[in-house]
């Protein structure tokens, strides 16, 4: 099966050739190109100049790739931040990675948000507050600095010109279930999915944002449990190979009945877009919601034959399945394409389009690192560390 798969995936050769210099494991995660954003020099963006008086509009919110209304709790946090500015007579400023407050304001805001968090007794409300605060800070800190589409610094590193859009086969819908700490992260790869396929084929759902999660679960209810699959290795009986999953699930019979889509019967694939440590909480939340909606706690999970092979070298630090989110989607599309039921939907081309975008992101992050005077040759010395 694996041999068959490799034949169907000539794309990896492109990835290998392009990324040779990137493949070694860095001495510390922060030295990886994937983490270069977090090592950016401090940058002060005075919110006064970039829109203190400008509320977060629907246009701005959805410009970042979301499909929901502006989350009410995010707006509340933004208002609270502005109140705090007036109260302590200090302007917010952000540095480095965009979403990190700095200086005197940070000290005061730290105290305030910790107290607020402690005072919330309901665990659901705690999660929602945590997410809203993370997202609000990232939104304000990235305003006027990051390109809304590619989440890279717009004047220096925007890679949008290199993205080629591609239509996804209409029977599939990806959901990027993203941790708030990955939102607007420059090295996030989940964003590539909606850049390439559009937000209706690959939809962002932020963990802990009620507006996003409601949209996702409404779609899941329509699709039915058998048409919702999570790419997560949870070691349970609910985990199946893609081929087994196809035998038992996917009741929509999409390939023979295109009208099924008009009933919302997509095959929904959930990609958990967070670090290893965050992903278990994210999966737990999905399971709890599944129990609420379907009366059964387990979610169907898919394991990929390629899970730990070619792609994991893209992202040296540990992540949930040793691969990055975009690579997981590429692996999924490539495996699907090898199955007779799906071989006429050009899924291979779609995988290739995503792979090209991933390469472009890698090159943009590498160029950024080089421009900042950080060596990349050092990585070659550690090539043998790759497993
Ligand atoms: Zn851009």
322-344 residue pLDDT tens: 468 998 899 899 888 888 878 88
Determine the distance separating the centroid of ligand 1 and the alpha carbon of 153, expressed in angstroms.
Answer: 8
Determine the distance separating the centroid of ligand 1 and the alpha carbon of 155, expressed in angstroms.
Answer: 9
Determine the distance separating the centroid of ligand 1 and the alpha carbon of 45, expressed in angstroms.
Answer: 19
Digit-coded pLDDT (tens) for 74-121: 999 999 999 998 889 888 888 866 668 888 888 999 999 999 999 999
Residues 6+ apart with CB under 8 A from 176: 190, 191, 193, 194, 202, 203, 204, 205, 271, 273, 325
Torsion of CA 93, 139, 34, 106, to 10 degrees: 30
3-class SS shares of the chain: helix, strand, coil, % to 5: 55, 10, 35
d(CA 278, CA 219): 24
pTM of the model: 0.81
Determine the distance separating the centroid of ligand 1 and the alpha carbon of 57, expressed in angstroms.
Answer: 20
- Give, as one character, the DSSP assignment of residue 150: T
What value does the mean pLDDT take over residues 150-168? 95
Determine the distance separating the centroid of ligand 1 and the alpha carbon of 163, expressed in angstroms.
Answer: 9
Determine the distance separating the centroid of ligand 1 and the alpha carbon of 142, expressed in angstroms.
Answer: 13
Answer yes or no: is pLDDT of 370 > 60. Answer: yes
Query: Which one has a higher pLDDT value, 311 or 110?
Result: 110
**Least confident window among 172-186, 229-243, 284-298, 315-329:** 315-329
């Amino acid at each position: 099966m694996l041999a068959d798969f490799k034949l169907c995936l000539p794309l990896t050769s492109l990835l290998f050739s392009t990324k040779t210099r990137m493949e070694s494991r860095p001495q510390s995660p922060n030295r990886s190109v994937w983490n270069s954003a977090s090592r950016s020099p401090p940058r002060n963006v005075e919110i006064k100049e970039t829109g203190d008086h400008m509320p977060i509009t629907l246009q701005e919110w959805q410009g970042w790739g979301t499909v929901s209304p502006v989350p009410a709790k995010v707006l509340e946090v933004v208002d609270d931040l502005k109140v705090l500015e007036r109260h302590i007579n200090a302007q917010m400023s952000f540095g480095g990675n965009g979403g990190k407050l700095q200086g005197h304001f940070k000290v005061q805001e730290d105290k305030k948000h910790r107290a607020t968090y402690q005072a919330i007794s309901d665990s659901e409300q705690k999660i929602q507050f945590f997410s809203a605060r993370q997202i609000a800070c990232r939104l304000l800190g990235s305003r006027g600095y990051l390109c809304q589409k590619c989440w890279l610094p717009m004047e220096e590193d925007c890679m949008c010109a290199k993205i080629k859009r591609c239509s996804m086969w209409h029977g599939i819908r990806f959901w990027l279930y993203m941790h708030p700490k990955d939102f607007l992260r420059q090295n996030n790869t989940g964003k590539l999915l909606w850049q390439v396929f559009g937000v209706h084929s690959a939809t962002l759902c932020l963990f802990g944002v009620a507006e996003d999660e409601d949209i996702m679960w409404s779609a899941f209810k329509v699709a039915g449990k058998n048409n919702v699959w999570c790419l997560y290795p949870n070691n349970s009986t609910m985990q199946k190979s893609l081929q087994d999953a196809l035998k038992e699930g996917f009741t929509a019979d999409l390939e023979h009945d295109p009208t099924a889509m008009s009933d919302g019967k997509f095959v929904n694939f959930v990609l958990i877009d967070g670090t290893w440590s965050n992903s278990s909480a994210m999966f737990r939340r999905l399971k709890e919601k599944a129990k609420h909606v379907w009366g059964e706690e387990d979610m169907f999970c898919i394991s990929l034959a390629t899970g730990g092979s070619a792609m994991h070298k893209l992202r040296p630090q540990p992540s949930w399945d040793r691969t990055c989110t975009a690579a997981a989607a590429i692996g999924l599309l490539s495996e699907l394409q090898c199955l007779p039921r799906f071989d006429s939907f050009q899924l291979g081309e779609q995988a290739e389009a995503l792979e090209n975008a991933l390469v472009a992101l890698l090159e943009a992050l590498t160029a950024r690192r080089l421009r900042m005077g950080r060596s990349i040759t050092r990585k070659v010395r550690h090539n043998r560390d790759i497993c």
